[in-house]
Structure 1
Amino acid sequence: MSDAGSSIAGGAARGRSRSFGCISNVPAAGGNDAVFLRAGPDDEMYVRADKIDLKNLDVQLEKKRSQVWLEHQRSASPRPEALLLEWEIDLAKLDIQNQIAHGTFGVVYRGTYDGHDVAVKVLDWGHDGQDTATRHREAFEKEVAVWQKLDHPNVTKFVGASMGTSQLRIPRRGSTSSGGGGGGRAVPNECCVVVVEFQHGGTLKTLLYNHRDKKLSYKKVVRLALDLARGLSYLHSKKIMHRDVKAENMLLDRKRRLKIADFGVARVEAQSSEVTGLTGTLGYMAPEVLQGKPYDHKCDVYSFGIVLWETYCCAMAYANHSLADISYHVVKLGNRPDIPRSCPRALSDIMTRCWDQRPDNRPEMSEVVALLEKIDTSSGKGGMTPTHAYDVAQGCSCFGFNRGA
């Protein structure tokens, strides 16, 4: 081979070596003769073409190219989606629309999920610090695993939840829909999402307010009380405390059937630990809760007694009283809302038993259900009809404290 031919072969080999990446591993054609040699005025390194197995080199080069292509395809292709947990929703199917309520930990929106009307509660626990947010999320994950298994006609149906919010879009203020095009505002990573069935009848609180003058019939009062009692009895049978039983958290469907909602502070009752701390809403808290003492599911029974009074009176208990006033009268004096004289004895007895100062004296919700089922409302009598001058002037005697709880 001429010098020119050697230079061409050497250049070709160098070109291949750059593509292959490791010319020192190229096998020689035969024996242990040197594959590399130095030549030229600058003592450059050349490769002896007659010592290179070009066929084997091409095979190895093709393997390398195939490997590079495969790695590229893997990196370019999206990873398969992680399998959803039993209670997790597919955020791609969720369309959040207008805001309908807000609270301490989050905002509630109306929307649709997979074509069905739903209420979407977006919980934000990031403002209390990362440690607190992490604890909230861990507790949330454990409890939704329980909530998704609940099935009762008087408990709002749990649709699903999500711990991730990367695909979640909240409509901008004034907008009625997220539009499906990602035009809404993003939410913090600390958020969690709870989706429940939407109830078209509004809240019990709104119903009572709308009947503040005319009041509800006795039959409707007992029916609503039975719905709430049955729902709470079911939750307690599952070792679940609601801890925030109030008229605002009771929803109504199109047929005015009551359904318990808003499990934001609900807790699975632990048999080996005591629950303490101010949890709930002022006016509905049991004395032991107000005092920060250990409490159990009987705190829900107390709150039921207050809601029963409100349903009969179509008024809010302690509407114009401060925390100090309520704590003093409820805890220290044992006072309760004033029961109207027109209230039937069967109903007033349930109220007073449920809001007894001592939790052990309060009935189980299953007993309350039985007591309400015995009430005869067929005659239509027993409604809240003011018969005294004071009752007529005030609308009802529902705005004070009554001694003798």
Structure 2
Amino acid sequence: MAMNTFHTEESTIKETDIVYHERLGFGSDGEVYRITWMSEDGDTEAAAKKIKLPSDETRLQQLRFEIQVAQNFNHDNVIKYYGHVITDTHVIIVMEYAAKGTLFRYLQALRKKNPRVHLSSQQIRTWAKQAAEGIQYFRTAGIVHRDVKSPNLLIMADGTLKLCDFGLAKYLHGTETTNKGRGTARWLAPEVWKEHKLSPKADVFAFGIVLWELISGDEPYEGMRPEHVVFSVAYGNKRPDIPARCPDVYKSLMKQCWEDDRNKRPTIEEIVTRLDGTDEIFGFPPAAPRKPEISSSGSTKLRVTWESPDDVGESPIIGYELEYKVVNSENGWVKVGKDLITKTSYTISGLKTGTKYETRVTAVNKAGHGPQSQPVTTVTVGKYLLSLILSHLLNEEFSILVFGNRRRRRNTR
């Protein structure tokens, strides 16, 4: 009998105290269920990871280690262990139930509902920091998680993000050579696959992919087969495309996490510290107003109409700035009105006949969430010639010359 064989008397929970409900997920060696655990303190909604007893010594040791880690860990951003059951065929690990499921499924559902809607910058920062603090807790214990990914980050009923699944976790001090690359392809650090080198920086690389998921809402390397992903990342230096709307602070952090040389990546402690920065540097601007249209409402008047974007950034848009200027003039932009425009259309009057103008619309929101008054931040979201948009394409530009009571249209391209 193998030295690490489990025995039923090692159980800390009775299997008869578990009522199984729906299956939440499954893998190569087991399944996860939502359960009711009838404990001495009353019925508790929980999750049960039901794992087939492995036959090889290495996997038995790893399973024992997984239970040991679960039993001894206690952190706000690591899933809580309740107990385990040993049967003749399975090990059942009972833990906290995450009512809102995995981060991966949450983001996929959000994208399916409306591809233009993203997480708010406050939510991105909160979840990024919670994920980093969960990884940091592992690091403090001298353990590498080895499988950091959005499917292993669970969202609790109160919205807290927690790291789960310790099946590949390993005590590690420094760098170690592994017998093979372990982890999940889309989050796997290049050196783990290419050199079979394992270090805490592998978890940092994976965190960078998770941060990208939070910002983009997409699946990493969508459409690529796993074997193509690991080869392209390890040998072709492929990384996910960073969205144009991404603030520089996140863009820089992701690129550093994805360095091919693991020694150039930040530590997880440094990442947590950087995520404690000021609110303003993490803010996302609102997206561009959609479908700008220009129409004449008089010989020296033009009406500009736009639509509010779906993605409004960190906080709702509080208004718009409309500016105009004479094309090719050295004079600067002229703001229309003294206050923000709260509607999505405006008529510019007092234009000079025979003069060509251009205009730009800027969406405006407030930075920060504190009780004190915060500065208003703006971003120019589009520049359009005063025009007749024939096809409603944003890059279709026509100019309008104002001549008394009539207009002459001319393609400027």
How high is the TM-score relative to the length of structure 2?
0.62
Provide Cα deviations, 1:186-227, integer angstroms capped at 9, x if missing partner: xxx342111111011211112211322111111111111011
Is 2:40 the partner of 1:141?
no
Aligned residue number for residue 121 of structure 1: 49
Q: CA deviation at 1:328?
A: 3.8
1:219 to 99, 118, 122: 122
Asked if the contact 1:252/1:259 (under 8 Å) is kept, the reply is yes
Inter-partner Cα distance in structure 1 for 2:145 and 2:286 = 29
Asked if the contact 2:69/2:166 (under 8 Å) is kept, the reply is no
Aligned residue number for residue 60 of structure 1: none
2:221 to 318, 321, 340: 318
Aligned residue number for residue 72 of structure 1: none
| Greater RCO (Cα-Cα under 8 Å, separation 6 or more) | 1
Asked if the contact 1:227/1:259 (under 8 Å) is kept, the reply is yes
Inter-partner Cα distance in structure 2 for 1:356 and 1:272 = 17
Provide Cα deviations, 1:301-331, integer angstroms capped at 9, x if missing partner: 1000001001100001101112343234312
Inter-partner Cα distance in structure 1 for 2:289 and 2:51 = 48
Asked if the contact 2:174/2:199 (under 8 Å) is kept, the reply is no
Q: Which amino acid aligns with 2:158?
A: K
Provide Cα deviations, 1:104-134, integer angstroms capped at 9, x if missing partner: 11011110221211110111144xxx3x1x4
Asked if the contact 2:66/2:167 (under 8 Å) is kept, the reply is no
Greater C-alpha Rg: 1
Aligned pair count reads 279
Aligned residue number for residue 272 of structure 2: 369
Consecutive unaligned residues of structure 2, counting only runs of 5 or more, are: 1-6, 292-309, 312-413
Aligned residue number for residue 402 of structure 2: none
Aligned residue number for residue 228 of structure 1: 131
Is 2:174 the partner of 1:251?
no
Q: Report sequence identity in percent.
A: 28
Aligned residue number for residue 96 of structure 1: 20
TM-aligned CA distance change 1:277 to 1:149, over 3 Å: same
Inter-partner Cα distance in structure 2 for 1:190 and 1:288 = 36
Alignment of 1:4-403 (within 5 A): 88-113=12-37, 114=39, 115-126=43-54, 130=55, 132=56, 134-162=57-85, 164-165=86-87, 189-212=88-111, 213=115, 214-269=117-172, 274-377=177-280, 381-382=283-284, 385=287
Q: Which amino acid aligns with 2:103?
A: L
Inter-partner Cα distance in structure 1 for 2:60 and 2:233 = 34
- Say which structure is richer in helix: 1
Question: What SS does the corresponding residue of 1:337 show, helix, strand or coil?
Answer: coil
How high is the TM-score relative to the length of structure 1?
0.63
Q: Which amino acid aligns with 1:385?
A: A
Q: CA deviation at 1:386?
A: 6.2
Asked if the contact 2:249/2:282 (under 8 Å) is kept, the reply is no
Question: What SS does the corresponding residue of 1:156 show, helix, strand or coil?
Answer: coil
Inter-partner Cα distance in structure 1 for 2:136 and 2:230 = 27
Question: What SS does the corresponding residue of 2:83 show, helix, strand or coil?
Answer: strand
Q: Which amino acid aligns with 1:304?
A: F
Inter-partner Cα distance in structure 1 for 2:98 and 2:226 = 32
Q: Which amino acid aligns with 1:241?
A: V
Runs of 4+ in 1 over 6 A off after TM superposition: 386-389
Provide Cα deviations, 1:249-269, integer angstroms capped at 9, x if missing partner: 111111211001122222232
Provide Cα deviations, 1:156-183, integer angstroms capped at 9, x if missing partner: 0011223x21xxxxxxxxxxxxxxxxxx
Inter-partner Cα distance in structure 1 for 2:204 and 2:81 = 23
Deviates more, 1:342-351 or 1:207-216: 207-216
Inter-partner Cα distance in structure 2 for 1:138 and 1:325 = 31
